[in-house]
Structure 1
Amino acid sequence: MPGRRIRLTLVGVVIAVAVPPIAPGPAVAAPLPPAAARLAVPGCDDTGPPPKPVTAVPWAQKRYALERLAPLATGAQVTVAVIDSGVDDTHPQLRSRILSGRDYLDPGLDGTRDCVSHGTGVASIIAATSSRGVGFRGLAPQVKILPVRVSEQKVIEGKESGRYVGVAKFAESIRWAVDNGADVINLSIVFYKDNALLKSAIEYALDKDVVVVGAAGNQNAEGNPTPYPTAYEGVIGVGSVDEAGQVSAFSQRGPWVDLVAPGAKVLVATPEQGHKEDNGTSFATPFVAGTAALIRQYWPDLNARQVAQRLVATTDPAPGTDRDAYGAGILNPYRAVTETAAPARQPAAAGLPPRQIDPEEVARAERRSVTQERALWVAGLAGAVAVIALLLAVVLPRGARRRWRPAGPV
């Protein structure tokens, strides 16, 4: 594949609760609210009441008009692995969507504990179901979420704290997700150092025809370091834009950005109940992962590379021209699902496909033919009447003058 962008490398989105980089420095994409604003989760240290449900429809949903997608695809029969801080399965909008996964922080658990609310928020953008009186819902509400817990890192007053797995376990978690039925993997976690084990795990996922979506990172203002695994070939890299479509200041730039999606002030679900606004390429990534799930349902014959091609080929134009910031453009889920002219659906170069007969077009052609035939008959009849009228106007007076005798010498 020539060039990172054209080759359709799957590129990721930044996370809010991330595994720290191999090299020194934070890997958290965006700060979390103070602990008191988060909720009490069994087995977690944080205290405080859960946020309340939000009734208004969030801006990202208005942009994507999810009601148009629902009749076409819902993500049914598709599994998305969310490798993150865990996904709480008690939230009313997620309760029926979460599979039993794996916990790499607390072995023996199933990945459904989320002490920092990050993985739950990511999963909700993908799979939250509709709820009466709540405007928020996910792009693919019939998707199954496979939760894989690898981090509970958080930022409070600018300081990082919390446990996380090393890169070897992170790589292992990717392989585990592949081997346990993932069709799409959402990676809203970034490292900032290349690693052979991590690269090998990504290659393993792609070889198994899994779509891998990764965050571009949130450290644009901190030197814009290369994010991994997003920078690897085959990963769909996702940057963040705001409601106006402008790239977020924190969103990292580089050839690893394949497209952008909402990542500024986006609404997400929180553990147990309620919703909150959050920021980061971490939350732009699941918009792309959710759309990939819709494509996998609607076009089941497409492989992972073709899914990535559709995602990039059907973007909306970005307001800026910096391809390192915007990639190919802004995600458009409806076009990604319905566009028949996307590269993955174009006819092969070997020849034209057989012409498909459209019954409606045949009927229209028959009606046109009958109408044309009638018009010709009417025109011919009108012409004949005109000729007869002309003859009568000329011949009758002359005949009367000659008393109807044939003309001849006098």
Structure 2
Amino acid sequence: MVKKFNIVNRGCMLFFFCFVLYFNNSVSANSDYIDNSYIITMKEEGVSGEISEELIHKFPDIKFEFINDIGVIKIHGNNEEITQKVLSYINKMYAVDSVSKDKRIYIPETKIDNSKVDKNNFVDSQYKYFGFTPSFMPNGLYTRWQWNIDAVTANKKSYEFQMGNHEVTVAIIDSGIDPNHPDLKNNIVAGGKSFIPGDESINDNTGHGTMVAGIIAANGDLKGIAPNTGIAPYKVLNSEGGQSTWVIKAIIQAVDDGHEIINLSLGTFLSLKNKEEKALIKAYNRAINYAHKKGALVVASAGNQGIDLSNPRKVSEQLGILNDEQKYAPGGLNSALSVGAVDKNNKFENYSNYGWMLDVTAPGGDFGPLYEKEGIVDVRHLILTTYPTYLPNYIAENGDLPRGYEFSYGTSLSTPTVSAVAALILTEYKEEKSKNLSIDEIQNIMYQTTLKVGTNRKEKLSGRGTVDAYEALKLINNK
């Protein structure tokens, strides 16, 4: 969901910041397509070994990637002429459903002026009274910033029921994770990998994936919603963004690796009318449906453009694209559990996308009540989470917080909240009832225990309400 991350003018990317409601300005533009790369969806959801072997043998200069389980082939050639010849051959010889150019996927850009951060909000009177500064706070006092965790866990009362384990795991398809972060390293399980060619490391060089991970499973100076839950990083984003194919492949791999929850704090807009993008929409749907058939729940962010995703034609108009119909994927697809954002008071956030396909909301954070009129950023309304220990933090440094922690906001942070709650529901049910739960059953428990969000039109299109880990776990124990 970015080209670059600017807090003043920094080169790091962070997928979740989108308060200015800015999306990469090449939405559905030709510059977003990857040269000489195409996605082919076959009519049957499978690619036989015979087809794979024949194509590799016949076209040795073409790079093929086969996602056999969902009938998807990616081809990449050195030039368009050769690539078109291969496409023509495949269309002629095999039962092809649709063909699309592969498309980049970005983390939405944001600009936060660090000079607007009110530094007086970093240390409140309570901590001044006891003589603490942020640098010298006792262990665990960073958790006082975690209003978002407290809101969903009833001030951590949900921990009395369930904190998770490594038997139910969450796959984080994102920019990787800091594998040595003290709050995360004990919960990182085997099975993650990088899908970025030439980069085998799971190290997070943008910060986004590590932030997402902290919301789910931080267990140190910060606590996540499910602080004992296992997490696995599947790296599909770097400083230049990523490719839709990488995301689709990662979903399949994560499911095959046995992860029950898949977190996607990312997204892209795709055209329903442009034949160049139909195969991508179909491939995303097939990947998520594959996950569902295998019993894995896919949780995806709704995006940060502040628009109604219900009507693809109107979405296109809101994006400034004429005579088109745009769909947000994967978070705007029916097959994914779509997540929007609410603020500290459980009000729907202006930056969060909404619509009839939205399922639930969770805390996303914002700049606080003084920002709109006075331009003052109040960190008490942002969300503090984990951040790579080898990258400089920007907002948190105003309060002398050490590397490894950063403030942020957006639906990218709402989404792992829901993934964590889903993991807790599944873990608790397995332990208490000695039974597994279907995806529908997990969602039903979540829906029954949400906190309703407002009554205006936008809030009526914000799904079933805000998730509540404590109430969900209490419901399981009362059944």
TM over 0.5: yes
The equivalences for 1:11-90 within 5 A come to: 15-16=15-16, 23-24=28-29, 27-29=106-108, 31=110, 55=142, 56-63=144-151, 64-76=153-165, 77-90=167-180
Separation of aligned partners in 2, 1:137 and 1:315: 22
Equivalent position of 1:183 in the other structure: 260
Return closer, same or farther for 1:196/1:128 CA change in 2, 3 Å cut-off: same
**Secondary structure of 1:227's partner?**
strand
Cα shift readout 1:39-82 (whole Å, capped 9, x = no counterpart): xxxxxxxxxxxx97972342112323353111211121211000
Return closer, same or farther for 1:34/1:127 CA change in 2, 3 Å cut-off: farther
Give unmatched runs, 5+ long, in structure 1.
Answer: 1-13, 36-50, 153-161, 346-410
Conservation of the 8 A alpha-carbon contact between 2:429 and 2:476: no
**Secondary structure of 1:199's partner?**
helix
Return closer, same or farther for 1:61/1:166 CA change in 2, 3 Å cut-off: closer
Separation of aligned partners in 2, 1:324 and 1:212: 23
* Post-superposition offset of 1:164: 3.0
Q: Which amino acid aligns with 1:279?
A: Y
Conservation of the 8 A alpha-carbon contact between 2:145 and 2:384: no
Separation of aligned partners in 1, 2:462 and 2:337: 13
Equivalent position of 1:96 in the other structure: 186
The equivalences for 1:180-329 within 5 A come to: 180-193=257-270, 195-220=281-306, 223=318, 226-264=327-365, 265-272=382-389, 273-300=403-430, 301-322=436-457, 323=459, 325-329=461-465
Return closer, same or farther for 1:62/1:206 CA change in 2, 3 Å cut-off: same
Separation of aligned partners in 1, 2:225 and 2:155: 7
TM-score of the pair, normalised by structure 2? 0.58
Separation of aligned partners in 2, 1:27 and 1:254: 22
Separation of aligned partners in 2, 1:326 and 1:27: 24
Separation of aligned partners in 2, 1:288 and 1:58: 16
Cα shift readout 1:179-234 (whole Å, capped 9, x = no counterpart): 11211000001121162211111111011000110000001269376321122233
Higher relative contact order (CA 8 A, sep 6+): 1
Return closer, same or farther for 1:15/1:188 CA change in 2, 3 Å cut-off: farther
Q: Which amino acid aligns with 2:388?
A: P
**Secondary structure of 2:211's partner?**
helix
* Post-superposition offset of 1:337: 1.8
Match of 2:206 among 91, 102, 116: 116
Structure in which a larger fraction of residues adopt strand: 2
Q: Which amino acid aligns with 1:227?
A: Y
Return closer, same or farther for 1:89/1:296 CA change in 2, 3 Å cut-off: same
Separation of aligned partners in 1, 2:109 and 2:363: 14
Equivalent position of 2:394 in the other structure: none
**Secondary structure of 2:186's partner?**
coil
* Post-superposition offset of 1:106: 4.5
Give unmatched runs, 5+ long, in structure 2.
Answer: 1-13, 33-104, 115-133, 271-279, 308-314, 320-325, 366-381, 390-402, 431-435
* Post-superposition offset of 1:97: 1.1
Greater Cα radius of gyration, structure 1 or 2: 1
**Secondary structure of 2:329's partner?**
coil
TM-score of the pair, normalised by structure 1? 0.67
Q: Which amino acid aligns with 1:309?
A: N
Return closer, same or farther for 1:298/1:146 CA change in 2, 3 Å cut-off: same
Return closer, same or farther for 1:137/1:340 CA change in 2, 3 Å cut-off: closer
Return closer, same or farther for 1:88/1:304 CA change in 2, 3 Å cut-off: same
* Post-superposition offset of 1:274: 2.9
Conservation of the 8 A alpha-carbon contact between 2:107 and 2:241: no
Conservation of the 8 A alpha-carbon contact between 1:30 and 1:279: no
* Post-superposition offset of 1:124: 0.5
Separation of aligned partners in 2, 1:84 and 1:284: 14
The equivalences for 1:327-366 within 5 A come to: 327-340=463-476
Cα RMSD after superposing both structures = 2.9
Separation of aligned partners in 1, 2:424 and 2:264: 18
**Secondary structure of 1:200's partner?**
helix
**Secondary structure of 1:315's partner?**
coil
Return closer, same or farther for 1:22/1:277 CA change in 2, 3 Å cut-off: same
Conservation of the 8 A alpha-carbon contact between 1:231 and 1:256: yes
